[in-house]
Structure 1
Amino acid sequence: MRPLPPPERLAWWRLRFEHTQAIRAALREETTPKGERWSPAYVNQHLVALRCVLRFSRRHQLMTADDFEAAADVAPVRGHREQTGRAVGEDEIDKILRACLTDDDNPARGIRDAALIALMHATGIRREEAVQALRAHYDAALRTLRIVGKGNKERTVYVHRRAAEWINAWLALLPAKPGPLFRPVHWSGNVQARALKPSSVNYIITVRCAEARVAVFTPHDLRRTFISGYLAVGGDIVLAQRQAGHASVATTAGYDRRSDAVLQETVELLYLPTPADVHALAA
């Protein structure tokens, strides 16, 4: 059997209905390195990419409209997988911030890490949004931060007053000149002018988790933690969507990591009279 050419050399415009259906069937049989079937969401990502390639071929007149419509008529794969990620516990946040604050080797770096983690925990912003944030866009008086998120969409997030104290402590160490909000700190303690890289956020969290002796979590878990916590205290999901910068409420709901115990406690708050209550009312 001849090996397939690389994707950029395939004649995608020659695909027809039977070919794309075979591709869909093959994707459903793909497995991860651990031997598990690809999740429905991951298969559907590939199907979306396939439709995009077909659409590109149609726009460049490499396919007829009928051939494109038939080939692109690929139904998404249905199914469900348990949610990934987790919410970070309050005790874990306490330990991590304590580890940052007791960094005797580089106190400035410790304050920066604490401010970064506190901001992400209290606002639910993405790691890319955090490292791209500008000092000039943070209003300490109003405790707001203007950021640019996915799709080049600008929004304003509101910072918890306690998180603002960590940010203000970090701002006190920054030069007066404008620039990125979060910057690398040299081993000597000098704050550099450039912005942190997104990968640096992962490294910071991993190191601080090890120092605090808590289970490692990802920057996106802080995002899940914010949404779960906001909803747990009675926050409106539409407002959580606005703060998180999601395109739809359904996406925001997918970040909820509250346990079933919270659901049970909430159900218990609903009103329903017992038999004894009904008898008492009738008496």
Structure 2
Amino acid sequence: MKELAYYDGTIGMPEEVTVPFNDRVHFFGDGVYDATVGGNHRVYLLDDHLDRFYSSAKALDIRIPMDKKELGTLLTELLSRVEGDTHFVYWQVTRGAASRNHVYDPNMKGKLWVMIRPNTLRDPDSPIQLITKEDTRFYHCNIKTLNLLPSVVASQEASEKGADETIFHRGGTVTECAHSNVSILKDGVFISHPNDNLILRGISKTHMIQACYRLGIQVMERAFTLGELMEADEVIVTSSSNFCLHAECVDGVRVGGKDRDTLQMIQDAVIEEYLDYTGKAGIMD
């Protein structure tokens, strides 16, 4: 298959698989999700992503219809059916299907969705453009919920301005991007927002921090300001499908470019981890 969709046990192409009208995702966006890349038909950092997925579901009292090991086996098996060497692997669970009502049956069985499609990872040496926007999202950003409208709007605004991503901030304090984490390098120190309820705990960011420790790079997990971001030696953006990108421009102003040696060390370390994990799959086409 060139692309795969799965819903509650049914497998097919995305245009073939249908979803019941009464699935609560249609009325409330009632669900959580996770995503990663697949290399050589291996789901990258599978256990990390499953842990976060089950934690998000538990936070919202959503019942995933299978245990963690069973889901991991299913994702691996589904990935094996899709052509290619590098893929985007996405899955979500909705609370279930029932007549529209804000109140739900606590015993309702969740509905599992999976989507797998070919993917190409972005060249980490190619710089990206960013814009900034006030963060008006709710205070549960640590849960990977399907309620992504603010991020959709912010991503569209970035696209229309010729940028790649939007940095959110609350009163001048940087939180994260619309669909990525953002960190900075300053005077040899890696600085990143702490894992609180204002950001999603990025798995790629977590592994990048681990790489910094291995490399002897000092790490500070603390909030930082837009002013610090603009004055940083490097601005680093990470996500599960792009591990370590660097920015050259924020709101039309040039940033970073002052500590490429440290940046390159970090990029090399996270790429090496990916290649080792997936059996030396090609990271880029």
State TM-score, norm by structure 1. 0.24
Higher strand proportion, which one? 2
Higher RCO (CA-CA < 8 Å; seq separation 6+)? 2
Which of the pair is proportionally richer in helix?
1
